[in-house]
Amino acid sequence: MTVITAPYEINVDDVFVDLEGVFGVPLHLKYEGINLAGSVKLKAALEMVLAAERDGILTPGAVLVESSSGNLGVALSMIAAHRGYGFVCVTDSRCNPATRRLMESFGARVLVISRPDRERGLLGARIDYVQRLVDYDPRYVWLNQYVNPHNWLAHYRTTGPAIARQFPDLDVLFVGAGTTGTLMGCARYLRAQRLPVRVVAVDSVGSVTFGGPAGTRHIPGLGAGVRPQLLDERLVDEVVMVPERDTLESCHAMARQGFLFGGSTGTVVSGALGWLTARPRGERLTAVALAPDQGDRYLDTVYDPDWVARNLGTPPPRDPAGESGTRELQPAVGAG
């Protein structure tokens, strides 16, 4: 029997999904959503909070404030509620409605930025707003996931070692790029162990992280309008850019097999599949991709046909076995 006293003590780190039966390509997915925050961001959030407490930066009566597209905000909301801090999440209009409601249920205050900075987009506008809050009220403590070394240290200490233990013969690892904390932590661990693993970063088209042109992105999670300060490109072997349409295809393909994953996971899986299928025929690699999030918070976006049509201008992926969706059925004549 397992007994816990804190919600973040539930964090399963050794579950991998074999996706070969779904896509016909050898690929294992490290499932990072089996915790009460529902995403990989719980690791970084807890590491940053505990470090701030140890350093005396975070003290009783403080109010945490952070810029987040959603998942880190949920994790910090949960941790702040349990440890007795206030929490303000500065997000933007792309944040899933379910994610906002979840943060508010933990007692967080959610501020939504709708006007992007002219050069740095919505992320730049969010960061500027957080800075103004911190300057205005000394009670606010900004952990700043974009520069905080404990963001990547969390994965250097946990995620990287967990992958290496389960796959000692690993050839290639696919990690999505947001703040790049997960990417940098895993890559640094593999390099420190001198493991001959190819590290492939997966990013969204429209993100500027790896020098591409800025563009409109609708699915929160991966990608950035401001180059992450944590990023060290010397630790990355290759970069794969994924259009949001391909993210949708991967999410819906997995859902048709009973696996409901989030938009970030769909992007990583799509990038991994494209990279693997482009390899020479007959080459069989041991490949792992990181699944950052669950899909339940994307029911109003990625899995909503109306949202897909409205934001991406194309019909959502269809179930090849027939039409999907909900229909209202009339009772048969004479039915009691």
Domain extent listing, the chain: 7-35+149-308, 41-142
Residue reference for tokens 């303000």: 88
What is the β-pairing status of strands 140-142 and 198-204?
unpaired
Query: Alpha-carbon distance 298 to 296, whole Å?
Result: 5
CATH 3.40.50.300 is the classification of domain 7-35+149-308: no
Amino acid identity, position 5: T
Q: Which of 96, 50, 57, 94 is nearest to 74 (CA)?
A: 96
List, for the chain, all residue ranges whose pLDDT scores fall below the cut of 70. Answer: 314-336
Strand-pair partners of 18: 28
Distance CA 261, CA 247 (A): 11
Which regions of the chain does DSSP assign to beta strands (E)? Answer: 16-18, 28-31, 63-67, 86-92, 109-113, 140-142, 172-176, 198-204, 238-242, 287-291
CA angle 253/255/259 to nearest 5° reads 115
Say if CB 164 and CB 190 are below 8 A apart.
Answer: yes
| pLDDT for residue 315 | 64
Check residue 336 and give its pLDDT.
47
Q: What is this structure's pTM?
A: 0.90
H or E element in which residue 46 lies: helix 41-54
**101, containing H or E segment:** helix 97-105
Burial class (CB in 10 A: 0-12, 13-18, 19+), 296: middle
Give the integer Cα–Cα distance in Å for 308 and 311: 5
Q: What is the pLDDT, as a whole number, of residue 243?
A: 95
Query: What's phi and psi for 295, nearest 5 deg?
Result: -100, -5
CATH 3.40.50.720 given to domain 41-142: no
Structure tokens that stand for 29 in this block? 């997915």
| The domains spanning 7-35+149-308 and 41-142 adopt the same CATH topology | yes
Question: What single letter denotes the amino acid at residue 262?
Answer: G
